Amino acid sequence: MINRARWPLYLAVLSIALPAFARIGGGEHYAGSNNNSNDGGGSGGDGELVGWLIYIAIRHPVIGIPLLVGFVLVAWYMKSQEGSASTKKAFQQAEAQVRTTVSAQAVTQWVGALKQKDPSFDLLHLFDNVKKLFLEVQGAWFRRSLEPVRRYLSDATFQRLSLQLRLLDLQGIRDAISDYAVVDLQIIGLEQNEHFDTVHVRVKAQMRDADAPSRATDEQALALAAKQQLEPFIEVWSFVRKPGAVTNAAKELSNGKCPNCGAPFEGGAANRCQFCSAVVNSGNYDWVLAEITQGSEFTRGGDAVEGFARARQTDPALSSETLEDRGSLIFWKWVEAQATGNPTPFAKLCGTEYLTWLSNDLKDLKGRGKRKVFLECAVGAVNTRRLDRDGDVDLAHLEVRWSARMGIGPADEKPPSLPVVPQRWVFTLQRKAGATTNAANGMSTNRCPNCSAPLSDNGQPSCEFCGTMLQSGERDWVLKDARVWESWAAMKRPAAASAAAASAPRDRVVSKEERERLLYMMAAMAAADGVVDGKERELLKDCSARWSVPWANVELALSAGSNLFDRLVQKGTPEAEHFMNELVSMALIDGKIDRSERKMLEAAAQHLGVGGATLSAMLQRSS
C-alpha cells in the first residue's frame, strides 16, 4: 500500500517530472514546473531554523544531532530536485534545438520550391506575419478570448485552444503570461503535395508564465507573471496553404483584408467574406495556422498510409491534412463532451451509436454523483494509421497521442493526486462510401459539407442552414468509435481490407511517453483488484528502473488504480497479447534480451494472462 504520509513528497517529485499544459499550444512548464510560491522570501526563516537546530544539537546532542542531520538530508534532496528540474529543462531545450535545426542549404531549397509556385513569396515577409500572429495569439490567450485571431486558425486549432481555456477555467485557474517576445524565426521544413503546402516555422521565444486563480483580474495576473523568471522555449508553428495560392500583401488577413477578393474583412464566427463568400481560414487563399508543436516533440514527414491511394480513387480531394484536422476537431469535442458531462454539442460530429453510448455512460456517472475529469490535457500528435472499406462505409483510423490528468471523481471535486499520463487512442471515423471531400472548405473542417455553413453547438444532428443530416456520415467524417491502442490493434479487420497482416503497424522507436504509458497501465492493472502483491511490485520496480520512469510516479499510478485509464486491458484477452507484444518491443530497444529482461517479461506475461508458449513465439518473431 502507498504511504499516504509521503504523498506531499511524491507530489513534489511529480511536479518536477511531469509537464503542465497551460501555455498556448500545450507547453507551459513543459520541462517541469519549478515555481516557488515564496518568491524568494523564505531564506531568512530557514536560517533561523538552522541556528535553532545547531543550538539544540550542542545542548541536547542525542535529540538535536539526528534532527540536524535529517534537516540537512531533506534540504539536500529538495535542492537536488530543483537542480534536476533545471537539468530537465536544459535537456529538453537541447532536444528541441536538435530536432528543429536544419542546414542553410535545405532552407534555400525550400524557399526556392515555394518561389517556383509563388514568385512573390518572401521569407522575411512570412516571418513578419508569423511574429505578428504570435504576439496577437498570446494576447488573445491571456485575455481568454480567441475570437480576434480565429481568422488565422484552422477549425481544429481554434477548437483545441478554446477548449484548453475552458478546461483551465474548470480547474479554477487562468494562464498569467507577460513579456512574451519572439527571439528568432526559422523555416525548418516544407511538405508539398497536390492538395496543400505545409511550411514549418521554428519559433524561439520567451515569456514569464504562471498559474493564477481564474477569478484574478488581468492586472492581478500580470503582477503574478511579473514575479516569474523569463523562460525561453521553442515551438514549431505549422502553416498550410493551397498550392495555387500566391502572396499578395494587399490581400492578407494580417492587413484586415479578404485574401480572395481584397475587400475589408472584420472577422466573425463564420470566417466568411461578406463580399465574395470565401472561407478565409480554409487555406485556399492564404496561410492558416494548422498546428503548434513543442520543439522537443517535432518530427518530420510520415510514411505512406495504407488504404489512402485506394480511397483517393473515388475522392481525389482527400488529404491527410484535412482528415487529421477533422480528427483533431472531433477529439477535442469528445473531451469537451466528457469534461462538461454534456454530449449534445457533439451531435453533428458523432455517429448515432457512439453518441448514444457516450450519453448513457455520462448519465450513469451523473446518477452516481461522479464526473470525468480532464486536467492539463494536451495532444502530442494525430496521425492517420489506416483507411478501410467496410461494406458501404469508409473507415479512417486516426491515432491520437495525448496526455492528461484524467479520472473519475466526485462531481464537485477534482482528483489532486492523479499523475499526467500519456494516452494512446485510435479514433475511427466513418463516412458513406463514395462521399467526397468539399475542397472549398479546405482546413475549415467544422463546416457543413453541403452548404459550407459553420457548424454550431445547438445539439441538432443536422445543419440548421440547409437541413443536411450530418450525424449519419453521409457527406463527411463522423466518429464511429474511440478505443485505447491495444483494443483497436487487437480488433479483427474488415473482410474488405486490402492488407494481409492482421496486426497493427509497429513503431520503429519507442518514445519516453510510450514507456510511461505502458508502465502506468501495468500499475493500474496490478492495483485494479485492490491488492498489489510482492511479485507485482518487484516487476513494476524492475520496469521503472529499466525504462527510466521515477518510482514515485509509479506509486502514484498504483494509488490511483483503475481511475488512471478510461479502460484497462483485460487479462488473457487479445488486447493483453498485443500489450505483451509492446513490452517485448520495449525490451528489444537495444537489440537483445538478457536473462534479467527475459525474467521480467515472463513475470509480465504471467501478470497479463499470456501463456509461456505465446511469449516464446513473440520473442522468436522479434529476434
Answer with the residue of higher pLDDT: 344 or 512.
Answer: 344
> Are 346 and 460 a contacting pair, CB within 8 Å?
no
Q: Highest mean pLDDT: which of 289-298, 467-476, 523-532?
A: 467-476
Cα–Cα distance measured from residue 560 to residue 113, given in angstroms and rounded to the nearest whole number? 52
Which has the minimum average pLDDT: 13-17, 224-228, 612-616? Answer: 13-17
Residues 480 and 547 occupy one common structural domain: no
Q: Which pLDDT score, from 0 to 100, does residue 139 have?
A: 96
Q: For 535-563, what is each residue's pLDDT tens digit?
A: 888 888 888 888 888 888 888 888 876 66
Pick the closest to residue 567 from 307, 431, 372, 285 (CA basis): 372
What mean pLDDT comes out for the span 164-176? 88
Residue 87 lies in a domain: no
pLDDT score, position 555: 86
Do 531 and 500 sit in the same domain of this protein? Answer: no
Average pLDDT over residues 305-325: 91
pTM of the model: 0.77
CA–CA distance, 484 with 582 (Å, rounded to integer): 14
Residues 163 and 283 in one domain: yes
Give the CATH number of the domain where residue 247 resides. Answer: 3.10.450.240
Q: Are residues 282 and 353 in the same domain?
A: no
Regarding whether 423 and 377 lie in a shared domain, the answer is yes
Within-domain flag for 267: yes
At a CB cut-off of 8 Å and minimum separation 6, what does 394 contact?
311, 387, 388, 430, 431, 432, 433, 435
Do 532 and 457 fall into the same domain?
no
**pLDDT grade for 604, boundaries at 50, 70 and 90:** confident
Query: Does residue 11 or residue 293 have the better pLDDT?
Result: 293
Bridge partners (DSSP) listed for residue 197: 192, 241
Looking at the domain assignment, is residue 180 inside a domain? yes
pLDDT at 246: 94
Q: Rounded to the nearest 5°, which phi and psi values hold at 55?
A: -60, -45
Q: Is the pLDDT of residue 55 over 80?
A: no
Mean pLDDT (whole number) for 409-415: 59
Q: Is residue 359 part of a domain?
A: yes
Instruction: Measure the CA–CA gap between 241 and 285, rounded to whole angstroms.
Output: 7
* Same-domain check for residues 211 and 287: yes
Question: Which triple of cell numbers denotes residue 69?
Answer: 542531520
Domain end call among 505, 534, 562: 505
CA 471 to chain centroid, in Å, comes to 26
Does 529 have pLDDT greater than 90?
no
Are both 274 and 311 inside the same structural domain? no
Of residues 186 and 42, more confidence is placed in: 186
Domain-located, residue 378: yes
Decide if pLDDT at 571 tops 70.
yes
CA distance 619 to 328: 36
- For residue 247, pLDDT over 90 is answered with yes
Query: Would you say residue 37 has pLDDT above 50?
Result: no
The answer to which of 54-63, 255-264, 475-484 has the lowest mean pLDDT is 54-63
Q: Write down the mean pLDDT value for the chain.
A: 81
Instruction: Dump pLDDT digits (tens) for 330-347.
Output: 999 999 999 889 999 999
Kindly state the average pLDDT of the residues 12-37.
40
On whether residue 57 sits in a domain, the answer given is no
Same domain, 459 and 585: no
Judge contact between 396 and 495, C-beta under 8 A.
no
Q: Are residues 233 and 263 located together in one domain of the fold?
A: yes
Instruction: Find the helix or strand (DSSP H, E) in which 84 lies.
Output: helix 61-99
What's the pLDDT tens digit per position in 354-408?
A: 999 999 999 998 888 888 888 888 888 888 999 999 999 999 999 998 988 877 7
Structurally, the chain folds into a number of domains equal to 3
| For residues 422-433, average pLDDT | 94
- List CB contacts of 431: < 8 A, sequence separation 6 or more: 393, 394, 396, 473, 475, 476, 477, 478
Which residues are CB-neighbours of 248 under 8 A, at least 6 positions away? 120, 259, 262
Domain boundary pick from 477, 505, 533: 505
DSSP single-letter state for residue 346: G
Does 451 or 14 have the greater pLDDT score?
Answer: 451
193-223 residues labelled b (16+ CB within 10 A) or e (exposed)? eebbbbbbbbbbbebbbbbbeeebeeeebbe
- pLDDT tens by residue, 198-243: 999 999 999 999 999 999 999 999 999 999 999 999 999 999 999 9
Contacts of 310 (CB under 8 A, 6+ apart): 387, 389, 498
Task: Reply yes or no on whether the pLDDT at 411 is more than 80.
Answer: no
Chain segment 60-107, per-residue pLDDT in tens = 666 666 666 666 665 554 444 444 445 446 656 666 777 788 889 999
427: CATH: 3.10.450
- Residue 32 in this model has a pLDDT that exceeds 50: no
User: Which grid cell sits at 504?
Assistant: 497493427
User: In the listed set 505, 536, 565, which residue is the last one of a domain according to the structure?
Assistant: 505
For residue 29, is pLDDT > 70?
no
Q: Are residues 325 and 444 in the same domain?
A: yes
Q: Is the dihedral of CA 29, 34, 38, 39 positive or negative?
A: negative
Residue 568 lies in a domain: yes
Nearest to 578 by CA among 489, 467, 509, 471: 489
pLDDT cut 90: percent of the chain above it: 44
Q: Is 262 helix (H, G, I), strand (E, B) or coil?
A: coil
In 214-255, DSSP assigns E strands to 231-241
State the pairing for strand pair 393-410/421-432. antiparallel
pLDDT (0 to 100) of residue 405:
81
The two beta strands, 173-192 and 197-213, are antiparallel
Rounded to whole angstroms, the Cα distance separating 276 from 617 reads 63
Residue type, 3: N
DSSP string, 267-336: --TT-B-TTT--BTTSSSSS-EEEEEEEGGG-----PPPBTHHHHHHH-TT--HHHHHHHHHHHHHHHHH
- For residues 501 and 520, membership in a common domain is answered with no
* Mean pLDDT computed over 492-507: 52
Strand order across the beta sheet in which 393-410 lies: 370-390, 393-410, 421-432, 478-484
In contact, 438 and 452? CB cutoff 8 Å: yes
**Burial bucket for residue 383 (CB in 10 Å: 0-12, 13-18, 19+):** middle
| Separation of alpha carbons 293 and 298, rounded Å | 6
- Single-letter amino acid code for the residue at 603: A
Which letter, b or e, does each residue of 406-433 get, where b requires 16 or more Cβ atoms within 10 Å of its Cβ? bbebeeeeebebbbbbbbbbbbbbbbeb
Question: What is the number of H-type helices and E-type strands within the chain?
Answer: 17, 8
| DSSP state string for 356-404 | HHHHHHHHHHHHTTEEEEEEEEEEEEEEEEEEEEETTEEEEEEEEEEEE
Query: The CATH number of the domain where 590 resides is what?
Result: 1.10.3680
pLDDT at 46: 45
- Whole-number pLDDT of residue 100: 82
SS3 state of residue 107: helix
Instruction: Give the range of the structural domain holding residue 549, as residue numbers without chain letter.
Output: 512-622
**388 lies in some domain:** yes
The pLDDT score that the predictor gives to residue 222 is 96
Q: Which of 48-57, 136-145, 231-240 has the lowest mean pLDDT?
A: 48-57
Please report, for residues 116, 176, 317, the alpha-carbon distance to residue 172 in angstroms, rounded to integers and kept in the order given: 50, 13, 43
pLDDT of the residue at 3: 40
